[in-house]
Structure 1
Amino acid sequence: MFLINRNFCLLLFGQIVSQLGDKAYNIALMWWLLEKTKSPFLVSSFLVIAMLPELIFGPVAGVYIDRWNKKKILVVSDFVRGIIVLTLAILFQSELLEIWHIYVAALCISLCSALFNPTTMSVIPVIVEKDKLQQANALSQMVVGAVSIIGPLLGSSSIVLVGYIGVLIFNGISYIISGIAELFLCMTTIESQTEESVIYSLTQGFRFIRADMRVLVIVTVIAIVHVFVGSIVVIMPFLAKLLDGNGINNLGLLQSAIGGGMIIGAGYISKYVRKSVSELYLSYAIVCMGLGILALGTLQLIHIELVEIYVIVCIIIGSCIAIASVLWRTIAQLCVPAEMSGRVFSVFSTTGNISLPISIGIFGLLLNYMTPGLLFFVAGSCLMVFGVVLLYSNRKNFESIVKVR
């Protein structure tokens, strides 16, 4: 028996393979750049360049997602990314790989991702029945959690066992395998023959978001939650150093705990919250997420240094992140019409992609003036307040639960 159905199983299989390859690839390339250049600036600039196309062209990509055949977008994006990475492998093996090759590859892969990622979200409602949407999003989120645990371990161990060439080949082939799996998707998507200009189509997408209160709330949630959850990315390494034991081991434990929590949260919502989807539950998840981050700060401020306690809190935070992610995706998929899905989900992706680096920059700066414990306390308090305000300022909307039939 396939997970939910055959189509979703194929999509999920491709997601697992390609995301594992991505994790190993990113770790290998950053390490290679650091070894070759000895420059943290070049490593960080690589990360920035890898994000730029998605940030700049994300909303425009949504216009073309709504116009083109979505299955073709998935397949071609994966094949192109696979060819790019395998080309890097050939250059590396021939000792011709240069830093500018890495930068050009990062730009091209990011352009493909700007098309691929929103398309994946917009395809799920096409291949999954409405009453299975939440379960499908939960399974996808479980994959993200599992990859966040396995991926870094796979990346670091692969460099040791098979070297950079092995990691590049693995990631390139993972994209190709994902594309082959997507070739077997049985789905009907209509290619739009509209003569509207790109600017007009893009404007229509923004107007739809502004006019639909539920979709507008989701955009706001994505932006604000990413800002405060981004504090975890920045502060966690500094927190890990302050705890008992080895700092790098502590960091691995805490990051794995968040990934494990995401698996638990996605599994919980898949099994126990199937009959209805409501922003009410989304606001509760945000409040609990804020409480978890607040707890990290409080534990540090009262000088608790036992890493096991922090691991438990990180599991709770990861669970809340997964629950919130599954809920907003499902609500959006139920609210957004198919002909608008590419533009709307591209705006979602772009919003998250913009918020996270802003968060990293802000909290990275604040770490020069505040302790990790105090920063976690402030970030958690702000996120918790946002969740409470979201709940009570939109109470009437939250009472309108979408019954999934």
Structure 2
Amino acid sequence: MAERVRARLLIAVWVGQLVSLVGSSLTGFVLGVWVYQQTGSVTQFSLIFLASSLPAVLVAPFAGVIADRFDRRRVMLLSDLGAAIGTAALALLVATDSLEVWHIYLASALSAASSTVHQVSYQAMTPALVGKAHLARFNGLMQVTRAAQIAAPLIAGVLVVSIGIDGVLTIDLVTFAVASLTLLLVRLPVEATRPAAERTREPVLREAAAGWHYLRAHTGLWQLMVLFGAYNFLFGFAGVLVQPLILSFASPDTLGVLMFAGGAGLFAGSLVMTAWGGPTRRIHAVFGGLALGGVALVLHSLSPSAWLIAVVAPLFLFTLPIVNSSTMTLIQTKTEPKVLGRVLAAARVVGDASIPVSYLLAGPLADQVFEPLMRPDGALAGSVGTIVGTGDGRGTALVFAVVGTLMVLLVAFAWSRRSLRDVDDLPDALEPAAPAPTATAEPVRG
């Protein structure tokens, strides 16, 4: 009975967060389209990605301190409020016909910073709610939100035509309200929201450094996050270049269908991890997912074929929940609850700091280096060109082949590190799940 009550609480919170994320994804897509339509600049469009990723890395260390110092539910509520303020400001600018590109960059940065604080608090709260036995499955369920983000553009395209950008922003504000109301009404155990309420506070920078010290003291966890950072660096190239690759040989309509197919692969991987939870030795799931993902990226390059992409893109994205949920479960189970927020924040910095770099490098490398090499008269036309073809888009295809090969080699190198290979053998620090609270609502008190 207790587990059923806890499950209902978790699902209620998860649904609220999912609704909010879908709303934010709709807004992000619509604003990106607006920027491109107003400027015609791929560079200005790509700067939205930078504005959405760099603040997250800079804020993460402080997000960990906040998550370990204060009531995590209140932190999540305030984070939602911060993001909603940015969205409301954009809605006002649209209504007064005053919206400019720099407004969107600023709002994207505010949303990214708020989201980082929110996610670190959410992830730090989850283990005490779920318990070790079901944590891996719940992390798999969390990956469903990534699939929703990929599907959002299909919905956003319809909405922006029918209700306009101001209507989409209004929907986003409503989804923030839904997520906040859910958090307000669901009663959560104090062990999850404030696991170390009585601990002695130290200066902020010293507290933030505690997460780094914990990772460095546990070599396997540190190497796991370095591996994850290298993976995200390579993944960033694919994330930026997959749409230009498809558009080099297919129509925008086909692009939409293939993006949906990729989202279906991500959704399927999330469902598999939710039902299965992964192998007993979770590092095997990380290595296996990385290796299979690398092979799938290489296969993207073999032919300018929509049918090929329709198979290999879902295959690649199927591996994403396997890698992400297994990595998160390892961090959560091997870290002491009192420092979990700061460790998650440090892990986020190590794992995500490389993403803005790949965003900045992907376009110039494809346009200025690889595309010239793969022209019919390019330096590699007579060698690599016989495999991946020559002409428009085949340089981008070669980037996929190189990135996929590097991902497979990365797995081979990681396997050679014994402390990483044996990270599952580190002692579990996760305490048993707290007793389930009653399902009655408890308002947040000041």
TM-score (norm 1): 0.89
Task: Note the 1:6-405 alignment, pairs <5 A.
Answer: 6-37=8-39, 39-149=41-151, 151-185=152-186, 186-188=188-190, 189-190=193-194, 191=197, 194-243=200-249, 246-273=250-277, 276-297=280-301, 299-300=302-303, 305-367=304-366, 368-370=368-370, 371-394=395-418, 397=422, 400=425
Q: Distance in 1 between matches of 2:148 and 2:170?
A: 22
Q: Distance in 2 between matches of 1:49 and 1:361?
A: 12
Answer whether contact 2:293 2:319 (CA < 8 A) is retained. yes
Answer whether contact 2:300 2:401 (CA < 8 A) is retained. yes
C-alpha change, 1:95 and 1:398, in structure 2 (3 Å) is closer
TM-aligned CA deviation for residue 253 of structure 1: 3.1
Unpaired runs of 5+ residues, structure 1, are none
C-alpha change, 1:310 and 1:102, in structure 2 (3 Å) is closer
TM-aligned CA deviation for residue 274 of structure 1: 5.3
How much identity, in percent, do the aligned residues show? 21
C-alpha change, 1:373 and 1:109, in structure 2 (3 Å) is closer
Q: Residue by residue, what CA displacement relative to the aligned partner does 1:150-198 show, whole Å, maximum 9, x if unpaired?
A: x011222111010111011111111111111111331213235533111
SS in structure 2 opposite 1:369?
A: helix
C-alpha change, 1:319 and 1:100, in structure 2 (3 Å) is closer
Moved more, 31-40 or 110-119: 31-40
TM-aligned CA deviation for residue 365 of structure 1: 2.3
Q: Distance in 2 between matches of 1:242 and 1:39?
A: 18
Q: Which residue of 1 aligns with 2:376?
A: none
TM-score (norm 2): 0.82
Q: Residue by residue, what CA displacement relative to the aligned partner does 1:330-377 show, whole Å, maximum 9, x if unpaired?
A: 111111111111112112333344222211222322212211232111
Answer whether contact 2:16 2:178 (CA < 8 A) is retained. yes
As a proportion of its length, which structure holds more helix?
A: 1
C-alpha change, 1:6 and 1:294, in structure 2 (3 Å) is same
Answer whether contact 2:211 2:345 (CA < 8 A) is retained. no
Q: Distance in 1 between matches of 2:88 and 2:5?
A: 31
C-alpha change, 1:402 and 1:272, in structure 2 (3 Å) is farther
Answer whether contact 1:82 1:174 (CA < 8 A) is retained. no
Give the root-mean-square deviation of aligned CA atoms.
Answer: 2.6
C-alpha change, 1:11 and 1:348, in structure 2 (3 Å) is farther
C-alpha change, 1:91 and 1:171, in structure 2 (3 Å) is same
Q: Distance in 1 between matches of 2:254 and 2:5?
A: 35
Answer whether contact 1:137 1:326 (CA < 8 A) is retained. yes
Unpaired runs of 5+ residues, structure 2, are 371-394, 433-446
Report the count of equivalent residues.
397
Q: Distance in 2 between matches of 1:363 and 1:36?
A: 23
C-alpha change, 1:336 and 1:69, in structure 2 (3 Å) is same
